[in-house]
Copies of this chain bind each other. A is one copy, B any other.
């Protein structure tokens, strides 16, 4: 990868990076026509393995407004893929002279991480399955920043489908990093998954507490609201110690549609509460802007479109200047000193054994033939690792050392001493023994 910068996850950007991008985006939005020499002579490639016209057009508009050129594959799935080509090979070829930057959309989680590994030009993740869609998050944060002048300390209500919306997950992590307070009022059955809450706690130091959202009216009527407030250096909330919070004043209400295309067969969901003029008349929502990643279905009524608080169309249109700033930065064409988030962990290859990632939609499983499993360490005590592609927690009850050939329970103190480069993961002891690993003398394994 060298000095090459990619945007695979919103975590690839530090808070300072994002604020630089926002300032640049604002500048671009004020002089759209004046930016047409920024990327002249450069080319981006849109490689879309699933259709997403909005996202694609937004990136392509951004590049054209910067004076660059675009080569576009709106439906890669019918092409080389059908001749059996791996994603990695396609990226190697396209990054080898065809384009100066790749915008990738792929149904497999972790696809962008893989692409970044093998690409010789910057890669931007334009959505990889249910995993990440960082430019949508950037756009959402930019909208808050423009509308409210800051993000720290804002009170943001998240409503609708908090379970399957990738957009919501990335947004919530980023809000926590910025030190915003988050009120979750999910549609019943579509609550925030436990792994998101766990990651919020462990990686972003944000603590969910139960909240009294009754003053929000309809939108919260059938919901067990949770209030998530950041701890640590960014902590600007006055409510840290509270445990039965009342939601009194909301800065932004972020509504999402049911992600029915990701619903499991058992997901039966009642119709959503519809946000309309009446639902927005609750006192705490008086100054709340209404956001939505679009497309909407019925969860936002057309009668709200003319309400000055409704900014979902503005939010969408801001995707262009935000992506202009990002493209210009990654192409080295504007003066940004992108730092990266220090939090991003190093990725290690799994030296042997089965793929410890059990996520069937992870690129490490959908393109198994072509990919060597990888991981990032999430925690040393207990030892816990995430997939280096899709970020899911790995199956790792037992771990071995590829040099000593010893196997340990993942929560045993001895496990911590294995160097990451030598870590091998096993679902159970039998698998470890089958791979020729042994229990070290004197160790007790369950």
Contacts and interface: CB of A to CB of B under 8 A. Distances in A.
A445 interface: no
A93 B313 contact: yes
Contacts of A69: 64-65
Contacts of A71: 57, 60-61, 64
Nearest to A261: B83
Interface string A310-327: 000110111111000000
23 contacts: A29-B97, A41-B65, A43-B61, A43-B64, A43-B65, A45-B57, A52-B79, A53-B73, A57-B94, A58-B98, A61-B98, A61-B99, A64-B70, A80-B295, A83-B257, A89-B294, A92-B313, A93-B294, A93-B313, A93-B317, A96-B317, A97-B317, A302-B370
A98 to B, nearest CB: 5
Given A89-B294, A89-B296, A295-B89, A73 B96 contact: no
A57 B98 contact: yes
Q: Which residue, A29, A85, A295, A316, has most C-beta atoms of chain B within 10 A? A: A295
Given A93-B294, A96-B316, A294-B93, A51 B64 contact: no
A300 to B, nearest CB: 10
A341 interface: no
A240 B36 CA distance: 58
A183 to B, nearest CB: 26
A54 interface: yes
A196 interface: no
Interface of A: 29, 32-33, 36, 40-41, 43, 45, 51-54, 56-58, 60-61, 64-65, 69-76, 78-80, 82-85, 89-90, 92-94, 96-99, 257, 261, 294-298, 302, 313-314, 316-321, 369-370
B98 A295 contact: no
A93 B315 CA distance: 9
A52 B72 CA distance: 12
A79 B99 contact: no
Contacts of A321: 97
A64 B84 CA distance: 28
Contacts of A82: 51
Contacts of A41: 32-33, 36, 65
A93 B54 contact: yes
Given A57-B71, A295-B84, A93 B43 contact: no
Contacts of A80: 52-54, 295
A440 to B, nearest CB: 32
Given A43-B65, A45-B61, A53-B73, 8 more contacts: A43-B61, A51-B78, A51-B82, A56-B73, A65-B69, A85-B294, A85-B296, A89-B296
Given A57-B45, A57-B98, A92-B313, A40 B51 contact: no
B36 A40 contact: yes
6 shortest A-B CB distances, which residue pairs? A96-B317, A85-B295, A64-B69, A97-B317, A53-B79, A93-B316
A98 B321 CA distance: 10
A240 B64 CA distance: 55
Contacts of A76: 53
A317 B89 CA distance: 12
Contacts of A78: 51, 75
A36 to B, nearest CB: 5
A318 B97 CA distance: 8
Nearest to A68: B64
A206 to B, nearest CB: 30
Contacts of A97: 29, 61, 317-321
A295 B83 contact: yes
Contacts of A60: 71
A317 B76 CA distance: 19
Contacts of A92: 313, 316
A57 B40 contact: no
Nearest to A60: B71
A60 B78 CA distance: 19
Contacts of A64: 43, 69-71
Contacts of A99: 57, 61
